[in-house]
Amino acid sequence: MKHLFKRKNIDDILREVDDTNGGLKRTLSATNLVALGIGAIIGTGIFVITGQAAAQYAGPALTVSFIISALGCVFAGLCYAEFAAMIPVSGSVYSYSYATMGEFLAWFIGWDLVLEYLFACSTVAVGWSGYMQSLLEGWGVHLPHNLLQSAFGHENGEWILTGSLVNFPAMFIVAVITALLLGGVRQSARVNNVIVVIKVCVILLFVGFGLSYIDTSNWAPYVPANTGAFGHFGWSGVLRGAAVVFFAYLGFDALSTAAQETRCPQKDMPKGILISLIICALLYVAVTAVLTGIISYKELNVDAPIALAIDRSAGLAWLSPLIKLGAIAGISSVILVMMMGQSRIYYAISKDGLLPGLFSKVHKKRGVPQNATVFAGIATGVIAGTLPLNVLSELVSIGTLMAFAIVCISVVVLRRTQPQLRRPFKVPLMPFLPLLGAFFCILQMVSLPWNTWLRLILWTLLGFVIYFTYSRRHSHLRKK
């Protein structure tokens, strides 16, 4: 049993990275990191999940939900910043856990991250599909109906067949992003920088011009009365809304996976994480307030809620194609960063022997883990083409919340067990802020539906089977 909790030595991790960098190239600056953070955070969360969470859980009070989520994220973000500056390697929470809690718990977290990124990419691709369909229909282009939805739906707790074969637009954008990522991280970062400028401008246009079309009666009641079931409106709905939209903040976790490709991670990682998080939290609250003011929250349970609000406001019709193009571009950048993060998780776990070695093969010229990237593209495309948005988004949220809670706890553990380590950035008010961050995350996890917990448990059990049948026997640390 002892080897299950064997920890990787942090000095060995840093020495290995300094010697070879694993074949990955250090090309990202602080500006690139902030852009990557905004690119990953501002996307499906703002263009899709806002409408669905308002319609199903929180109503206009979704603005409060975003503030609750942002508080949890700020505390977790500080902990991420300490770890990313201290252990600047690919792998995010997986790598941090391996150094603080041991191999078994690291595998458990790594497997949770696979769930998080795999379903996040799929969720975002489905949101992209909704906006693309809306844009094409506005241009008079109609794709075959049986290629526009997921093959399966989930309504009233039951799985149904939708009659569609696959969500083809979602699978298409995943294939395009995979090809772009295979071209190298420098090229991907440049494309992302351009997209970030476009989508932030579009969001500011929506907020600026949308203010004139707000009907304050749509904000009444601000907190709709609870329906009698926990999580469906009322303050329990605000809390569940916070848990669902927490998915929207996943981007800064993806940002930490790029630490090994950052020029000066000790200085730039904390800046990238915290600046992008603050900017995005402000934008989320502003967009949610305007969206629920323009149109009743009851009508927002669609894949493209901002497009719906624009189309319903005659004076904003001129903005409709810009909003849809901005949403499509913005969501594309989220897929790009999430896919990059997903492939780096496979890469990091494979480097330790817990996944097959083919995932840690790096292209000599482009410096990218090509097999991991291709696998991420195939898996994401299949899931995006077959599963519905509501199931995907809830799974992502619970995985993200668990990862953030563990980061908050890990930073406290490491301060106690290895106080001598060099920490270029330190979380203030230790251990109060990290424990508060863990509390916020666990509180939101508890508010999620039982079905979501059941899927997480089944995914975890599958991970245990893989660990004890493959990973445990191939672990490089165990062989040493």
Topology, domain 25-479 = Amino acid/polyamine transporter I (1.20.1740)
- The CA dihedral of 334, 236, 213, 41, to the nearest 10 degrees, is -10
Cβ pair 418, 8 in contact under 8 A: no
Instruction: Count how many Cα atoms sit within 13 Å of the Cα of residue 339 in the half-sphere of its side chain.
Output: 37
Tell me the pLDDT of the chain (480 aa) as tens digits.
556 677 777 776 666 655 454 556 677 777 888 877 777 777 666 777 788 889 989 999 999 998 888 887 888 888 888 887 777 776 667 877 787 778 888 898 888 888 878 888 888 888 788 878 877 887 888 888 788 777 777 666 666 777 778 889 899 999 999 998 888 766 777 777 788 888 888 888 889 998 888 999 999 899 998 888 888 899 889 988 887 777 677 666 667 767 677 777 777 877 887 888 888 888 889 999 999 999 999 988 876 788 788 888 778 878 888 887 887 887 887 888 788 888 888 988 998 899 998 898 887 777 788 899 999 999 999 988 888 766 666 667 777 788 788 888 888 988 888 888 788 888 888 889 999 989 888 887 887 788 888 888 888 899 999 999 999 888 888 776
Q: Is the peptide bond before 221 cis (omega within 30 degrees of 0)?
A: yes
Q: 187 phi and psi, to 5 degrees?
A: -65, -45
CA–CA distance, 451 with 58 (Å, rounded to integer): 19
Task: Convert the chain into a string of H (helix), E (strand) and C (coil).
Answer: CHHHHCCCCHHHHHHHHHHHHHHCCCCECHHHHHHHHHHHHCCHHHHHHHHHHHHHHHHHHHHHHHHHHHHHHHHHHHHHHHHHHHCCCCCCHHHHHHHHCCHHHHHHHHHHHHHHHHHHHHHHHHHHHHHHHHHHHHCCCCCCHHHECCCEEEECCEEEECCCCCEHHHHHHHHHHHHHHCCCHHHHHHHHHHHHHHHHHHHHHHHHHHHHHCCHHHHCCCCCCCCCCCCCCHHHHHHHHHHHHHHHHCHHHHHHCCHHHECCHHHHHHHHHHHHHHHHHHHHHHHHHHHHHHCCHHHCCCCCHHHHHHHHCHHHHHHHHHHHHHHHHHHHHHHHHHHHHHHHHHHHHHHCCCCCHHHHCCCCCCCCCHHHHHHHHHHHHHHHHHCCHHHHHHHHHHHHHHHHHHHHHHHHHHHHHCCCCCCCCCCCCCCHHHHHHHHHHHHHHHCCCHHHHHHHHHHHHHHHHHHHHHHHHHCHHHHC
Given this model, what pLDDT does residue 16 score?
61
Instruction: Count how many Cα atoms sit within 13 Å of the Cα of residue 18 in the half-sphere of its side chain.
Output: 7
CA–CA distance, 260 with 273 (Å, rounded to integer): 15
Domain range annotation of the chain: 25-479
CA–CA distance, 306 with 294 (Å, rounded to integer): 10
C-alpha R_g of the chain: 21
CA–CA distance, 243 with 383 (Å, rounded to integer): 22
Given this model, what pLDDT does residue 470 score?
93
∠ CA 13-110-193, rounded to 5°: 80
Given this model, what pLDDT does residue 52 score?
80
One-letter amino acid of 213: Y
Given this model, what pLDDT does residue 50 score?
84
Q: Is the peptide bond before 431 cis (omega within 30 degrees of 0)?
A: yes
CA–CA distance, 96 with 89 (Å, rounded to integer): 9
Nearest one of 107, 86, 88 to 98, comparing CA atoms: 107
**Beta pairing partners, 155:** 158
